[in-house]
Structure 1
Amino acid sequence: MSDAPRVLFWRHGRTTWNVEKRFQGQTDIDLDPVGHAQAERAGRLLATLGPDVIVASDLKRAADTAGYLSRASGLAVEYDKGLRERFGGSWEGLTADELSRRWPVEHARMDIPDGENISEVGDRMTAAVERGIAKTPAGGLLVIVSHGAAVRVGISRMLGIPDERRELLGPLSNCCWSVLQRRGPEWRLMEHNAASLPEPVVLSDDA
């Protein structure tokens, strides 16, 4: 087994605000019944990967999602506020249509006038991941349970994608995950927006 760590980023299950296309930010919204079912199914699948450490945002939708993996794997969940969603200021609770009408230019760029700067989100996400990696054994699997925008910024940072070009990485659906693995000094994206377990890679990409 390689000593290179793997980090699996898992987005929380569905909420009513996801369905209504409301900006959630750090408003503490619960999973809806579909979200609980998604997390229960995904938790059973991810437990078969043998995670070593689970670290979650302390917001309920992520913490409750992580709880399903905890119960399936027998691992305790650690919580890190650095994994919270981007703070959305006055945008939180408004629908995408409302945001487009009130802030057409800013919404198109996701430039929240009184919200958290993307660079700050990237800084705290990568710091939280590094804290998790420090607790993960060599060659182990760290599961990070977080939020859509925060995860995209965190993954982009780890891949060396500038914050302003984070849209190069496609969105992460509710309760789907992405996997990064370190190769030498760099991280590689091994899976993105997955909802099923991967087939093993038989041939090396260097062949």
Structure 2
Amino acid sequence: MTETRTPGKRRLVLWRHGQTAWNLENRFQGKTDVPLDDTGRSQARRAAALLTALRPTALLASPLQRAADTAQALADLTGLPVRHDRDLIERDGGVWEGLTGAEIRERYPAEQAVWQPPGGETSAQVAKRVGTALDRALDDLPPAGVLVVASHGAALRLGLCHLLGLPEETWERLGGLSNCCWSVLSERRDGGFRLTEHNAGTLPEPVLGDDGPAVGR
């Protein structure tokens, strides 16, 4: 939280994009601009219909088309414009982008064990980048506003950890987001946030994405 923010009753909805072909193939997407597939577009429409019940007042998205198009499904129902922030793009996967989980394990066993893509971003870098973008957006949100942010699995989980002030050694305790599922944070009286829902919108299932060594498990 920044010092200028007046505590209110803000809510923040962190919404992962719908399914892509690379999700189905368990390929690391990172900053590669992979579009939604037909299932992903259907997921976005279904989730958007549910999210309207939260009465969002602002929409923000990663400019990568899989997140931007997910956000647009909610914009079509609410009439709200979608703003885009490049700091919300997915983790830079370096040489892992386009590789399957099996290929990463085979070619980069040491790096895979600590989930650090060669030539890519560290978890701490992603957490700071995305967390700062979320803080910036919250500063512009009225005290009773509801901000929906459409972004990516690893980016959202790490940004969430940053926003909650969790120490890095605890980040792996927070599970990932399934395609088109979301987490909700509600503002506390001191201006901080608490996590009130996580990975909402689905029954428990494997999470396929760019979000750590448990991907595809």
**TM-score when scaled to structure 2?**
0.86
For the aligned residue pairs, the C-alpha RMSD in angstroms reads 1.3
1:148 matches 2:153: yes
Q: How many residues align?
A: 195
2:107 to 102, 111, 116: 102
1:162 is displaced (CA, Å) by 2.2
1:189 to 195, 200, 203: 195
CA contact (8 A) 2:56 2:146 kept: yes
1:17 is displaced (CA, Å) by 0.3
1:135 corresponds in structure 2 to: 140
Q: Which segment drifts farther, 185-194 or 144-153?
A: 185-194
1:126 is displaced (CA, Å) by 1.4
Aligned partners of 1:98 and 1:164: how far apart in 2?
A: 27
1:70 corresponds in structure 2 to: 75
Deviations 1:70-94 (A, max 9, x none): 0011100000001000001110000
Equivalent position amino acid for 1:169 in 2:
L
1:90 matches 2:90: no
Aligned partners of 1:164 and 1:32: how far apart in 2?
A: 35
1:122 is displaced (CA, Å) by 1.2
1:205 corresponds in structure 2 to: none
Aligned pairs for 1:1-207 (under 5 A) are 3-183=8-188, 184-195=190-201
Aligned partners of 2:156 and 2:171: how far apart in 1?
A: 10
In structure 2, the gaps of 5 or more residues are 1-6, 203-217
1:165 is displaced (CA, Å) by 2.8
The secondary structure found in structure 2 opposite 1:45 is helix
The secondary structure found in structure 2 opposite 1:31 is coil
**TM-score when scaled to structure 1?**
0.90
Identity %: 49
Aligned partners of 2:30 and 2:162: how far apart in 1?
A: 20
Equivalent position amino acid for 1:91 in 2:
W
Provide closer, same or farther for how the CA distance between residues 164 and 86 of structure 1 changes in structure 2, counting only shifts above 3 A.
farther
Aligned partners of 2:139 and 2:71: how far apart in 1?
A: 19
Aligned partners of 2:167 and 2:101: how far apart in 1?
A: 25
In structure 1, the gaps of 5 or more residues are 197-207
Equivalent position amino acid for 2:77 in 1:
A
